[in-house]
């Protein structure tokens, strides 16, 4: 009975939280769009993202403070996605006055697809602003208060700068995506071709990368002969910093929360339980933003982790993998079973949202995931060496570039296999 009431309470609480989240506060700028749509308005706010320049436009998120339209001027709140025609040099924390047109994102979507408006609303963006030229945006000052997010983004820019300094643009953009979650520079066709082979997850910072970062941090701290509990205490804030650096996307937040739980369990000499830690990570994500429940990234991330946890041990026992004497055969079979388990868990979601079915996924993951591991390791090594010993950085960069080239060629040849991918309407 207690369990039933608790479940009912949790369900009602979740439903109310979701509904509450969908109702915007009175001061929210999107609630004033009815009066402002189509009319030029001036908005004062703080830049809350790293501005991205692509296709002759600058995109940024603006946390609004004040809005002026005609003679009226009043305080407001909420985040606006701003698009400026042309390039404007801005940084996180800049206080700006922008003049342009405010409007709601369009709702048109193919049946079964999420609309752009839904996609933005899940990130807390309900309003867009178009600024015709960089001269319509003035920088008023800087928000000098210390912000962990700002510090993390500053660090991310420096690390990105290091990658682009030593590696040509295309491999550097792939390294930046795999290490920092920065995907804006990836050629669109690379993204599309990896989606077809079911390996696009390697271009997204996820649990794998977070695990790698934890491994590197713990190893570096071990090098410094720091005791275990102190190592864990140092590692946790660094993992949170990495999570913020990579944009705190759903897979990274999931991996970060689960890692913190497992590290804490390790420190307390207790066993971590994967289903409980998954549930806790999901609870944390949904408490902050319940609309993430409808996010494709969240669904895929949790589906793959749960599928691997559920199917992999059973398949391993069924095929008696442990009994194999040949280590290479055992390694290959284990890798295949992990990919196969993840594929079973995510196949339905991928087919529903992307209308894709990729039988080549298991083979592709078997070849590409170890390559991606090497690339991520060598990318981190490049960053470390470029900071500490820049004279050696070109050699690490050459290896990283070669590995990225090998990854793209492998993916290219996998797509040539007959019936590797099916697209359906």
Partner 1 sequence: MLILTRQEKQVILFLGAVALAGMIISFLIKINSRVENYVRIDDELIKIDLNKAGMEEFIGTRAVSEKLAQKIIQYRMEHGNFDELQKLKEVKGIGENRYEKLKELFFVE
Residues that bind partner 1 (CB under 8 A): 55-56, 168, 170-171, 187-190, 192, 219, 222-223, 377-378, 381, 385, 392, 394-399, 401-402, 404-405, 408-409, 412
Q: Which is nearer to partner 1, 73 or 392 (CB)?
A: 392
d(CA 55, CA 85): 9
CB of 425 to partner 1, least distance (A): 12
d(CA 4, CA 111): 37
Q: How many CA atoms lie less than 13 Å away from 105 in the CB half-sphere? A: 21
d(CA 402, CA 18): 47
Q: Which is nearer to partner 1, 55 or 146 (CB)?
A: 55
Alpha helices (H) in 75-227, listed in sequence order = 116-121, 148-166, 169-180, 188-196, 207-223
d(CA 413, CA 37): 50
What does 171-213 look like in DSSP terms, one character per residue? HHHHHHHHHH---TTS-HHHHHHHHHTT-GGGGS--HHHHHHH
CB of 367 to partner 1, least distance (A): 16
Q: Which is nearer to partner 1, 190 or 342 (CB)?
A: 190
CB of 187 to partner 1, least distance (A): 4
Q: In a 3-state reduction of DSSP, which class is residue 115? A: coil
Q: How many CA atoms lie less than 13 Å away from 55 in the CB half-sphere? A: 5
Contact 164, 382 (CB under 8 A): no
Alpha helices (H) in 224-295, listed in sequence order = 228-245, 250-267, 274-288
CB of 423 to partner 1, least distance (A): 8
CB of 364 to partner 1, least distance (A): 15
CB of 402 to partner 1, least distance (A): 5
CB atoms within 10 A of CB 52: 12
Whose tokens are 């609004």? That residue is 64
Tokens linked to 352: 């529903």
Q: Which is nearer to partner 1, 409 or 422 (CB)?
A: 409
With 0-12 / 13-18 / 19 or more C-beta atoms within 10 angstroms meaning exposed / middle / buried, residue 147 is middle
CB of 279 to partner 1, least distance (A): 31
Q: Which is nearer to partner 1, 20 or 416 (CB)?
A: 416
CB of 199 to partner 1, least distance (A): 14
d(CA 349, CA 165): 38
H or E element, residue 73: strand 72-75
Q: Which is nearer to partner 1, 9 or 413 (CB)?
A: 413
CB of 392 to partner 1, least distance (A): 6
Q: Which is nearer to partner 1, 167 or 338 (CB)?
A: 167
Can you list the pairs that 213-216 forms with residues at least 24 positions away whose Cβ atoms lie under 8 Å? 213/238, 213/239, 213/242, 213/380, 214/239, 214/259, 214/263, 216/380
Q: Which is nearer to partner 1, 152 or 194 (CB)?
A: 194
d(CA 315, CA 359): 19
423 phi/psi in degrees, rounded to 5? -115, 130
Residues 6+ apart with CB under 8 A from 20: none
CB of 259 to partner 1, least distance (A): 18
Whose tokens are 């993992």? That residue is 239
CB of 37 to partner 1, least distance (A): 23
């Amino acid at each position: 009975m207690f369990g039933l009431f608790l479940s009912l309470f949790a369900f009602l609480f979740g439903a109310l939280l979701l509904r509450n989240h969908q109702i915007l506060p009175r001061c929210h700028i999107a609630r004033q769009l009815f009066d402002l749509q189509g009319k030029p308005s001036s908005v004062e706010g703080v830049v809350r993202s790293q501005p991205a320049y692509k296709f002759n436009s600058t995109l940024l998120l603006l946390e609004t403070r004040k809005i002026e339209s005609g003679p009226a001027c009043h305080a407001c709140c909420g985040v606006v996605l701003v698009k400026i025609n042309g390039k404007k040099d801005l940084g996180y924390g800049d206080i700006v006055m922008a003049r342009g047109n405010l409007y709601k994102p369009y709702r048109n979507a193919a049946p079964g697809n999420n609309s752009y408006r839904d996609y933005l609303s899940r990130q807390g963006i309900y309003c867009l602003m178009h600024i015709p030229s960089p001269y319509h945006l003035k920088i008023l000052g800087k928000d000098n208060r210390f912000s962990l997010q700002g510090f993390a983004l500053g660090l991310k820019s420096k690390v990105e700068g290091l990658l682009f300094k030593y590696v040509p643009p295309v491999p550097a953009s792939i390294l930046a995506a795999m290490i920092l979650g920065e995907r804006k520079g990836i050629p669109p066709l690379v993204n599309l071709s990896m989606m077809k082979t079911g390996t696009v997850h390697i271009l997204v910072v996820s649990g794998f990368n977070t695990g790698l970062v934890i491994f590197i941090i713990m190893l570096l701290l071990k090098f410094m002969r720091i005791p275990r509990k102190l190592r864990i205490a140092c590692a946790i804030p660094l993992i949170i910093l990495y999570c913020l650096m990579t944009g705190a996307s759903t897979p990274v937040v999931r991996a970060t929360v689960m890692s913190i739980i497992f590290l804490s369990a390790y420190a307390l000499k207790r066993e971590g339980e994967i289903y409980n830690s998954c549930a806790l990570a999901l609870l944390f994500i949904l408490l902050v933003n319940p609309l993430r429940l409808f996010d494709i990234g969240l669904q895929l991330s949790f589906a793959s982790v749960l599928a691997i946890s559920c199917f992999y041990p059973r398949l391993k026992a069924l095929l008696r993998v442990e009994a194999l004497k040949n280590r290479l055969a055992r390694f290959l079979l284990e890798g295949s079973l992990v990919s196969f388990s993840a594929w079973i868990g995510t196949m339905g979601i991928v087919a529903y949202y992307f209308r894709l079915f990729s039988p080549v996924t298991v083979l592709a993951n078997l070849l590409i995931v170890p390559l991606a591991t090497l690339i991520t390791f060598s990318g981190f090594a490049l960053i470390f060496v470029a900071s500490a010993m820049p004279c050696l950085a070109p050699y690490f960069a050459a290896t990283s570039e070669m590995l990225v080239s090998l990854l793209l060629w492998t993916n290219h040849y996998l797509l040539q296999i007959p019936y590797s991918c099916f697209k359906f309407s």
